[in-house]
Chain A
């Protein structure tokens, strides 16, 4: 069974630039999550989708972060403009029951 795919794996940008991350969940998983994990901390949920509807985005900084899940499958997370404190690993997960995580995208903002 193919796992959760994410791209790119690494990204380095300057502050105030924009960046986008892509996630392809496991086939058949209706629920998709985006997490931010800062070094030394546990993952922090940014947004949760059920099919293509948003279930929880209470911790998403909506002034700069946006996410969409078109057709209830793939999803993109965008940051515009990026700040230094956005440097983190961005994890995508999908679930039917337990969550399956992708390898993450390591973002460095300089």
Chain B
């Protein structure tokens, strides 16, 4: 299973763009990159999934360079409610029945007013 490395924690002020980078040097050809968000006392929530280049949805953008050995989750104009733990996972894709996704320790994002 591909291993991921993320910063343990990050701080940001409200209104700023936050970029969380994840390293996955041994990502397999069939692996996708998926990000989840987890608030205290709740289960994780799917944010975004991608395979290469750039994916954007109403919540975030995911940037994946050509070598796919890393990826960056970009959260535009964060608010206090974005304070959470963000997990980067490789495998899947979700729903494929392929390589199960493995959660690491995640990045604890603290948004400051």
Contact = CB atoms under 8 A, between A and B. Distances in A.
A41 B105 contact: yes
A95 B100 CA distance: 12
B94 A95 contact: yes
A24 interface: no
B107 to A, nearest CB: 11
Contacts of B103: 35, 42-45
Interface string B27-68: 000000010100001111110010000000000000000000
B88 to A, nearest CB: 10
A72 interface: no
B100 A99 contact: no
Interface string B72-113: 000000000000010100000111010011111110000000
Interface stretch (A62-70, A75-83, A101-109): A101-109
Contacts of A31: 95, 97
Given A31-B95, A45-B100, A55-B97, A99 B106 contact: no
A42 B106 contact: yes
B8 to A, nearest CB: 10
A9 to B, nearest CB: 10
A1 B104 CA distance: 29
A48 B97 CA distance: 10
A102 B95 contact: no
A109 B44 CA distance: 24
16 contacts: A4-B43, A42-B87, A42-B103, A42-B106, A45-B100, A55-B97, A56-B100, A91-B44, A98-B34, A99-B46, A100-B46, A101-B44, A102-B43, A104-B41, A104-B42, A104-B43
Given A41-B105, A45-B100, A93-B43, 5 more contacts: A95-B95, A97-B95, A101-B45, A103-B42, A104-B41
Interface of B: 34, 36, 41-46, 49, 85, 87, 93-95, 97, 100-106
